Every structure is written in structure tokens, then in C-alpha cells.
Amino acid sequence: MPSHRVHRFIDVVFLGRAYPHVHRWMDEPAWTTSLGKRHRILRHDLLSLLARFGVSEELVSGLLHILTDMADSRVKALKRGKSRRR
């Protein structure tokens, strides 16, 4: 899971400012439940982001968060030799 520092950096690069509250909200289930990495089944989808943030830069920050998480997982899988085609 990428650190919030990484997520904030990506926000600044693409949006000009960081949205730490977006990343805290999205990853909160990882800390408050026993889901761990599987917390992504919650709050890591377009409908959840729209319901929480509406059409805004916060929504875009959330989408960047999801893409960063997906890229991180893919790189780790490739390093482990688990190449999956999608």
C-alpha cells in the first residue's frame, strides 16, 4: 500500500495541492477493521467517492488514490513473479 506521503505527492503533481483528508477517509477501514489490504473493497470505487465528495478535485484525488494503489499492487505482483494479464 503506498504511503499517504506518496498519495499527497501525486495530488500536488496533478492537482497543485494535497488532499490528505481524502486519503485518510479512503484508508480508514484498513486501520479500523481487520481487513488490512482488503480494505480496498470499501471506499475505493467511483460511487463511494461521488457520494462523499461530489464532482470536485477531491473526487479526482480519490481516483488518483485508486490508480496509485492499483499500480503499486501490480508492481509488487510483477516483482513476485505473478504476472496476470487483464
Give the number of domains in the chain: 1
Mean pLDDT of 45-71: 96
Residue-range definition of the domain harbouring residue 36:
4-79
* 50 found inside a domain: yes
Confidence tier at 35 by pLDDT (50, 70, 90):
confident
Residue 13 maps to a domain: yes
> Taking the model in full, what pTM does it have?
0.85
Range 29-39 average pLDDT = 80
Average pLDDT, the chain: 90
DSSP state at residue 7: H
More confident of the two residues 42 and 48: 48
Arithmetic mean of pLDDT, 34-60: 91
Instruction: Work out the end-to-end distance of the chain between its first and last CA atoms, rounded to an integer number of angstroms.
Output: 20
Asked whether residue 84 is assigned to any structural domain, the reply reads no
- Secondary structure (3-state) at 18: coil
